[in-house]
Every structure is written in C-alpha cells, then in structure tokens.
Amino acid sequence: MKKTHFLVSMLALALFSSCQNGDENDNESRGSQEVHSKTVNVTNHDGRPFSTGSGSINGKFVSGPGGGVLMQGFYWDVPDGGNWWNTVKGKLTDWSNAGISAVWLPPASKAQNGAYSMGYDPTDYYDFGNFNQNGSVETRFGSRTELEALITKAHAENMQVYADIVINHNSGGQSQANPFTGTSTWTDFSGVASGKFQRSYNDFYKNSYGNNDEGAFGGFPDLCHANPYVQDWLWGRDDSVGKYYKNVMKFDGWRFDYVKGFGPWVVNNWNSNVGGFSVGELWDSNVNTLEWWANNANSSVFDFAAYYKMDEAFDNGNLNVLNDDMMWKRNPYKAVTFVANHDTDIINNKMPAYAYILTHEGYPTIFYRDYEEWLNKERLNNLIWIHNNKATGTTSILYTDNDEYIARRNGYNGNPGLVVYINNSSSWQERWIETNWSSQQIKDFTGNSSWYPTTQGDKWVKIQAPPNSYSIWSLNQ
C-alpha cells in the first residue's frame, strides 16, 4: 500500500574505476591486521523457487546454486492507459536472461478508481480488466487477455509470477443502511460485475462478529476475516479468490498487502488451502515481530529490519550496524530482502545495498525503477549472476568498522561460496581475511579489482575493495 512518507531517490550511480592499488603478490604478514570474525548461525537458503541447475538456456531461466531473484515488476503510479502488462511482458526474456526467477505484479483486479487505480482499493477480485465497471473495462495495467499473456510468457521463460493480494479492505461499494453502525456505509458489493464474492455490511467491521480486528486502513471498509462466508470466498471454495488466481489465472504466489491489518492466521489459512509462495508486507523494523509473524503465518516476510539497517549503514557511514539482528539471520528461508519498493525508497547509496542483499542469505528483490531506469543495469546483472552462482552456504561476518564490511558465504554442496568486501570510504582498502579455500587462486567477480591472489595454506589471503564500492571474491573457475 502506498504510504505518505514515500520518498523517491533518483540517484544514478556512476561506474567506479576498476583500477587497483598494491601488488597482487604482496606477502605482507596478516599479523599486522586486526581481523574480527563473527559467525552468524543461520542456514543457507537454497529452498527458493527454481533452486536447481544453473545458468540461462535459450532465454529460459534456470537458477544456479544460490537460488533465484525476485523482480518487483512495477512502481507507484506506473503509466496509465492500459499498457503496463504489455510493458512487463516485453521485458521478461531479458529478465530471464539476467537470472531473475520471478516477477511480482501489482494488484490485478478492478478497483474503485478503475483505469486510474494502482489496485490497492479493490472492488471486484474477479474482474481482471474484462468487465465494464468503475468507469472502465481495462484496469490501469491492461486487459485480462494481456495479463494472461504476460503470465503465459513468464512461465515459458521458467519464471514464476506473484500476485499482490489486498484483503484487508475493499472500496467501491454502494451505500447501504448498516444496523451495526446506525448509519449508511459503503459496504454493498452485491452488484459486482463478476457476480462472485458479493458482500454486504456483515462482511465488514463492525458487525455481528465484533467491532474490529487488528487494523483498518485509510477509512476503507475493513473486511471481516472472522466471517466464515468471507473465509470461504477468500480461500475455501473451489472458485475462491486464492484458488481462482492460482488455478485459473495461473499465479504462482502471493505478496500480501498490509498484513498488520489482520491476524497471521489469515495468511496461514490461505497458504494451507491454496498453496504457492507467499510473502507478507509487515512494515516493522523489529526483527522479533517479523519472525513472530512469519512463523504464525507460515509465510515469508519482507525484511524491514535489514532495510533500515542498510539505510543507516550505507547512507550514514556506519557499517557496524550490519552486525545487528535481521530477519535473514533469524530464518533466511522466510526473509525477503529489498533495497527499495513502490512504497518506500529511502536508501540513496543503493549499489552497496544491492551488493549486500545479493551476496547474503534471504530471497533478494530488485525494484523495477532501480533496474530499468536509475542504476547501472550491467552492474546489477553482475550481482545477480554472482548471487545465483556463488552465494551459497552460511554467513560469517569477518570484519566491520564504520567504513568497511567483509563477510564470507561458506559454500554448500560443492559450491565454493564467496567473500564480499564493501568499502564506504573514499580510498582503496585492503584486508587479510580467512577464506574457504586453501592454496587456490581467487578473483574479484565484479571486475573492480584486477588482483588474482592465491590463498595461503591456512586459507588466509589479502583482498582489496575500491572506494565507495565493493568487491566479491571466489575461486577463479
């Protein structure tokens, strides 16, 4: 859901020089370097969609050992006019070739503002741009036929498609007398054009089931999930919203909007009855709250704890905060990491943040405008490749200070893992670190350093990182 504090950062980051300092054969003793090492007790995340194989074959994505990457396929106020589904469809092959395994779409059904709505004010869950209601046939994004063509194309590219699901509130109903409020409320949805999931005042709070649930949003009628009729239409019956989206429209998963507005049992029941990948938008930086919700919802959750720590680290010059707790450290299988989205965009120094989420555990998300408009696509594609092919195993934090952060992915099932070195300072930095590899040559897969050092027999080696940038090291193979 769009938040009032939405900020837009249109910082276009310049390519950093790939020049290097020092001698790649430098045998300086590491004894003069103070190295702090911390192992994060988390399991590696190899359970995301399309978690086997590697590379891209004829434009069809097959993820490598590191798993897949999610693309948020929209931003707030994408162009209206009904062409967005076609726009996204036209990019799927390039995204697949880049190593992106799934795309998250905006709310696809007809909303109160019809052809002008971003979809977060839903009226008829079964109108995908094929009924003339709320002033238009098509949605802002296009027609049902165009949406189905997009989903078919994504599946042909071996990519999954996630639907943005708004079930906290509805909008666009007609006025009716409401005995529970003693007033008239906009809760009459008996005339929805699809004829499915017709609603009235007793399907919204306050009603015979109570006065309220966990939260309402924006003055919209607050859907009552305690009502068995609502449950049946959302996930129970064969033509419920969830099952229709999955079995008829062929969506593969769900991004649940504003899950603070209802109990985690709602998403748990949806997932149990419908299936598919799911992630909740629980806008909270408290990692305990995120973990509690994810466990009770049986769902992934966006890692807002990591998001705010990255802002402090990369924008405010305090990389030490990356030692703090985050959802991906608690449970990487249920953590979806991100640098920006359609609601919030507070991180200005984005490339180090993408280097962070694409080398660490969790399921990383790329924001459409960062990829297609604002940042350097070649550098992002490089990070996606590194993620898919090298980012395996548990994570050990090797060194942190205000300006430098070094972490090691310890490898998994024969994959060598990597070492990422992020440097916020204005000069080249070097550190001795302990790797996964004994007496083997390594290289920086970003190309920012031209060193090709060989690790010592005890696995130690000196690496470097360019100013205001990063390097990512693994076996030269």
CA–CA separation, 209 and 76 (whole Å):
35
List the one residue out of 334, 279, 335, 333 whose CA is nearest residue 309.
Answer: 335
Catalytic residues: 257, 281
Block residue for tokens 């190295």: 35
List the one residue out of 244, 148, 135 whose CA is nearest residue 196.
Answer: 244
**Is the bond into 206 cis (omega within 30 degrees of 0)?**
yes
List the one residue out of 80, 134, 74 whose CA is nearest residue 109.
Answer: 134
Secondary structure letter of residue 142 according to DSSP: B
Q: What value, to the nearest 5°, has the Cα angle with vertex 222 and ends 220 and 227? A: 155
Residues across the chain: 477
CA distances from 4 to 10, 93, 119, 190, 218 (A): 18, 34, 17, 32, 11
Whether the CB-CB separation of 59 and 157 falls below 8 Å is answered with yes
Give the CA dihedral 372, 142, 255, 277, nearest 10 degrees.
-90
Whether the CB-CB separation of 435 and 393 falls below 8 Å is answered with no
CA–CA separation, 282 and 289 (whole Å):
9
CA–CA separation, 240 and 233 (whole Å):
5
The answer to whether 325 is annotated as binding is no
323: Cβ contacts below 8 Å, ≥ 6 apart: 38, 397, 400
228: Cβ contacts below 8 Å, ≥ 6 apart: none
The answer to whether 232 is annotated as binding is yes
The answer to whether 168 is annotated as binding is yes
SS3 7: coil
Residue list, annotated binding site: 168, 232, 238
Residue list, annotated binding site for Ca(2+): 168, 232, 238
